[in-house]
Amino acid sequence: MVEKIKLDLVSPDKVLLSEEFEMVTLPGGEGDYGVMFGHQPMITTLRPGIIETERSGESPLRFYVDGGFAEITNVDCSVLADDAILLSDIEKIEIEQRIKNAEENFNDLNNDIDIALNHTRIEVLKRILTEI
């Protein structure tokens, strides 16, 4: 039997998911992280990107997150997302609006980190748009 890691995915307004998986992939601030049972404990920032779950015999669940934090222990992974949505629930028009908002947001950004994150946000959203 494969040990599983528990994923708790929380957005500001609700708990989106609290289940066990064989692996969870996170868009970490310094690159993607594959998290499995027994992972080294850590806390990391999340950049805009996709959280993907893996469980034998099931299609992966994929969530768009717009940044946040993850706390990982050897048995669980808690994600506090600034904004998160299950990709199978998202409409094309919503993605297009998020891209438009991010593009308009450039005028309000005044530091390199926020500008880079906004570029990442737009790239991820455009990639999602091609997948739906």
Torsion on CA atoms 122, 123, 127, 132, rounded to nearest 10: 0
Residue pair 26/41 in contact by the 8 Å Cβ criterion: no
Instruction: Give the number of other Cβ atoms within 10 Å of residue 93's Cβ.
Output: 8
C-alpha closest to that of 49 among 73, 85, 6, 96: 85
DSSP tag of 55? -
- Model-level pTM greater than 0.95? no
Give the Cα-Cα-Cα angle 94, 25, 27 (nearest 5 degrees): 60
| 100 backbone φψ class: left, alpha, beta (φ>0; ψ -120 to 50) | alpha
pLDDT tens digits for 52-108?
A: 999 999 999 999 999 999 999 999 999 999 999 999 999 999 999 999 999 999 889
pLDDT at 124 (0 to 100): 96
